């Protein structure tokens, strides 16, 4: 008596393009089903637009959030960060013709004439910079080496958090 065993063929190995094509087809089916479901669910609503209109621009600029810090130094660092974020970051000068500012100028502008507070903020910012970039000697020399505003804003965040923690 002979016994036969069934051997299943190995599933085909799909390359990345084939897998992406399958996922694309599956997503197209799901999106078509969702579109039909949306039309069915909103058909009873008078004046329901089958495709909702999405505004291309914001009607109003978002209001600036109040400072989360109550201590003077942390608040100053937070406001200086916001100034760079809104006015723009300047790399090779104190400011440029478009209004962008360097970190030190942002601190001085937000200090509103309080030189001692501005000095303390610069020291706190340099400490935060040197925490991650030990080779940085000064704020301007480090600022010139940056290629984007991200690290500058992150340094302001670290300095503000540290000042807040120290109740400064």
Residue 28 lies in a domain: no
d(CA 143, CA 91): 6
- The pTM of the whole model exceeds 0.95: no
Residue 56 lies in a domain: no
Residue 78 CB-density burial (10 A; 0-12 exposed, 13-18 middle, 19+ buried): buried
* pLDDT (tens digit per residue) in 108-167: 999 998 999 999 999 999 999 999 988 989 999 999 999 999 999 999 999 999 999 998
* pLDDT (tens digit per residue) in 57-78: 444 444 566 888 889 999 999 9
Residue 152 lies in a domain: yes
Residue 80 lies in a domain: yes
Q: How many domains does the chain have?
A: 1
pLDDT of residue 109: 93
Residue 101's domain comprises: 72-165
Residue 143 lies in a domain: yes
Residue 131 lies in a domain: yes
């Amino acid at each position: 008596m002979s016994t036969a065993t069934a051997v299943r063929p190995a599933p085909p190995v799909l390359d990345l393009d084939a897998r992406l094509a399958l996922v694309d087809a599956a997503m197209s089916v799901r999106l078509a089903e969702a579109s039909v479901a949306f039309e069915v669910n909103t058909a009873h609503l008078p004046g329901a637009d089958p495709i909702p209109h999405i505004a291309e621009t914001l009607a109003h600029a978002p209001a600036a959030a109040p400072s989360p810090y109550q201590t003077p130094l942390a608040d100053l660092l937070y406001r200086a960060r916001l100034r760079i974020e809104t006015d723009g970051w300047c790399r090779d000068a104190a400011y440029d013709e478009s209004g962008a500012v360097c970190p030190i100028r942002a601190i001085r502008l937000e200090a509103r004439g309080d030189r001692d507070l501005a000095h303390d903020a610069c020291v706190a910012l340099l400490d935060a910079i040197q925490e991650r970039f030990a080779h940085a000697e000064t704020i301007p020399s480090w600022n010139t080496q940056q290629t984007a505003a991200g690290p500058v804003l992150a340094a302001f965040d670290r300095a503000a958090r540290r000042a807040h923690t120290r109740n400064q």
